[in-house]
Chain A
Amino acid sequence: MESEKLPENSDAHHEHSSNCNGTITCKDCLDVLDMVIDQEESPTEAFKQHLKDCLPCLEKYNLDKAIKEILHKRCNHQELPPGLVDSIKLRIFDNAGS
């Protein structure tokens, strides 16, 4: 069976949580980091404050965001083979008409 749970303590600096003065811990922050970066959730004030207070979490946020952005920018386009669109339409509409 596939696990539906995110791994616990899967990131290197969870142990920093007790050193941070923000209102959420590193674990809380990392639990929602993907969701915030993917715009599935809006960042709460506590989340934003935590990033201001905790350098490792801020670095992780910046790195993950940079990777997402560069993937979108650099891997988003593969040139279409010439004639592909025409051949699709030809096959479909010729068959449909026949």
Chain B
Amino acid sequence: MGKQKYTEQEKKDVFNREFMPYVDSMYNFAYRLSLDQDDAKDLVQDTYLKAFRFIESFEQGTNAKAWLFRILKNSFINDFRKKSKEPSKVDYQEVESFYNSDEVDHPITTDLRDDTVKEMMGDEISNALNALDVDFRTVIILCDIEGFKYDEMAKILDIPIGTVRSRLHRARNLLKEKLNSYAKKMGYL
């Protein structure tokens, strides 16, 4: 894909028209990744600065939201995770291989039902989501909260679609276990 040529005014127009409408989603994504309001704010600012700097690599009419999310995710991994107040405790590969092991492929025994979930408050859902390892959290945010398709997620995360599916499947099982524990603790079950 070739670079676009824009005048300064065109750059501003593209930026305002194609990028700024996603600022709410971007902030929500940044907050759910970093779990810190100040970090989320910095992350969104950094992402928009990078997006403007590389605006000539963006092809108008293509998926701006996915393009921005990819930049934000990379900024989070490269810049934020390293200096994060709560550094990633384990290397991602280790996490994935652990969760790919038989240990988590045990049958999911949950008493959770759809009507129990519907009764839960936002905080309980949010806490369960936030308690997941960031890589599992990310696929749920992208798919269930932001509504990205698997192929878009594959591009944002730089992983094959098959890995998107398997990671999502495991993330959902882990989330269900968390929700099940919350439901028991809160007396729903």
A interface list, Cβ under 8 A from B:
2-12, 34-35, 38, 40, 59, 62-68, 70-72, 74-78, 80-81, 84-85, 87-89, 91-93, 96-97
Contact = CB atoms under 8 A, between A and B. Distances in A.
B145 A12 contact: no
B28 A2 contact: no
Contacts of B37: 81
Interface of B: 8, 11-12, 15, 20, 23-24, 27-28, 31-32, 37, 40-41, 44-45, 48-49, 52, 93, 96-97, 100, 105, 107-109, 112-115, 117-118, 120-122, 125-126, 129, 140-141, 143-145, 147, 149-150, 159-160, 162-163, 165-170, 172-173, 175-176, 179
A71 B125 contact: yes
User: By DSSP majority rule, is chain B's interface helix, strand, loop, or mixed?
Assistant: helix
B117 A92 contact: no
A57 B158 CA distance: 32
Contacts of A6: 165-166, 169
A75 B114 contact: no
A5 B162 contact: yes
Contacts, number: 138
A34 B168 contact: yes
Contacts of A72: 144-145, 147
B108 A12 contact: yes
Nearest to A92: B52
Nearest to A97: B8
Contacts of A78: 27-28, 31-32, 40
